[in-house]
Amino acid sequence: MAGIVGYGAYIPRYRIKVEEIAKVWGADAPSFKKGLMLREKSVPGPDQDVITISVEAARNAMKRAGVSGAKVGAIYVGSESHPYAVKPTGTAVAEVIGAVNDCHCADLSFACKAGSEGMFLAYGLVKSGEVEYAMGIGSDTSQGAPGDALEYSAAAGGAAFLMGLKNVVAEVECQYSFMSDTPDFWRREYMHYPRHGGRFTGDMAYFKHVRGGVEGILKKAKGKPRDFKYAVFHQPNGKFPMKMAKDLGFSDEQMKTGLLVPTLGNTYSGASPLGLSAILDEAKPGDRILMCSFGSGAGSDAFIFTCTRELPKVQGKAKKTRDYLDTNPFYLDYGTYVKFRRKIRKNVED
């Protein structure tokens, strides 16, 4: 059965706390922290972007899979912050892991669900026998406009999943996607920062489409929420996925392992993939996992995974997601943060 043969995560080491942003804009930090269930977020270093994050996540996935890069026949990187507007991210990943030249490569975008799209394509290709191994990566270094609510959450990180048929660590039992044309969040060409539809982004976008994805896959798999050890949903903040879980009948216990957002922030295309990677770090053979991404615009991709006896053999072969998240972060002040994120207008060196 087709599924994940290797997975890997990467989260930059820098963080900024909600208080540090709130004090600059005169906002009330305690109400933000309580309202959004968000304490701090990751920030990419000045030498990090979606290419470098995707590469590190891919390397970790390859370490766990233990297969030669030459066997990887397809690489898809989903992001809304690809470093180049024109020129792919995936080609750099392919060079680093040694997948060149026999490889199909494409970059994907669909707001925050671009990562799960790559997983969907990679899974479909190996299941059909078209390629032996295929990789899907979700990675972002998104920015919120200064002072906007998104600035408190827009974070950096990514996760990679190598799909294959042999030595599968988590089988894909079922897949389902749900979408509609909904303008809840967008960024027009040449604009630095995205815009969003305010309260419209909740009920009409996130909750409708995650519900659609989860209910759809449960119907397709003839399953119930209690059938799963773990569940992970897209997490733009802590409040949305926890409210969604409650409404759909999932417990805090099922959600807690994959809920990284309180100290990570919203990693957009990386969000539910990183949550899944944190679950795979802990899961045991036989455990079932329900994952549902969400991307504005809008849609969701849902997967049901069943962990196999191969999983414990690979968990320790690369750095775990929680180790990246919890170990010795560097906290930035707002000034250094805006310098790192190039929000300061400078004279161009000649």
Give the residues lining the site for other proteins (CB under 8 A): 13, 45-49, 51-52, 55-56, 59, 83-84, 92, 95-98, 323-324, 327-328, 330, 339, 348-349
Residue 274 CB neighbours (<10 A): 31
Judged by beta carbon, residue 49 or residue 140, the one nearer other proteins is 49
Judged by beta carbon, residue 97 or residue 134, the one nearer other proteins is 97
Q: Are 104 and 131 in contact (CB under 8 A)?
A: yes
d(CA 33, CA 37) in angstroms, rounded, equals 5
Displacement of CA 323 from its chain's centroid (Å): 17
Active site residue: 56, 80, 117, 310, which one? 80
Judged by beta carbon, residue 91 or residue 175, the one nearer other proteins is 91
Q: Is the dihedral of CA 60, 63, 68, 72 positive or negative?
A: negative
Known catalytic residue: 112? yes
In whole angstroms, how close is the CB of 61 to other proteins at the nearest point? Answer: 14
Torsion from C-alpha of 151, 205, 162, 134, nearest 10 degrees: -120
Beta pairing partners, 220? none
Strands (DSSP E) along 193-345, which ranges? Answer: 195-196, 230-233, 288-292, 299-307, 330-331
In whole angstroms, how close is the CB of 336 to other proteins at the nearest point? Answer: 11
Active site residue: 20, 82, 103, 112, which one? 112
d(CA 104, CA 111) in angstroms, rounded, equals 22
Active site residue: 234, 292, 307, 310, which one? 234
Known catalytic residue: 234? yes
In whole angstroms, how close is the CB of 99 to other proteins at the nearest point? Answer: 11
Judged by beta carbon, residue 3 or residue 44, the one nearer other proteins is 44
* Buried b or exposed e, range 99-118, using 16+ CB within 10 angstroms: beeebbbebbbbbbbbbbbb
Which helix H or strand E contains 116, and what residues bound it?
A: helix 114-128
Judged by beta carbon, residue 98 or residue 335, the one nearer other proteins is 98
3-state secondary structure of 237: coil
Catalytic residues: 80, 112, 234
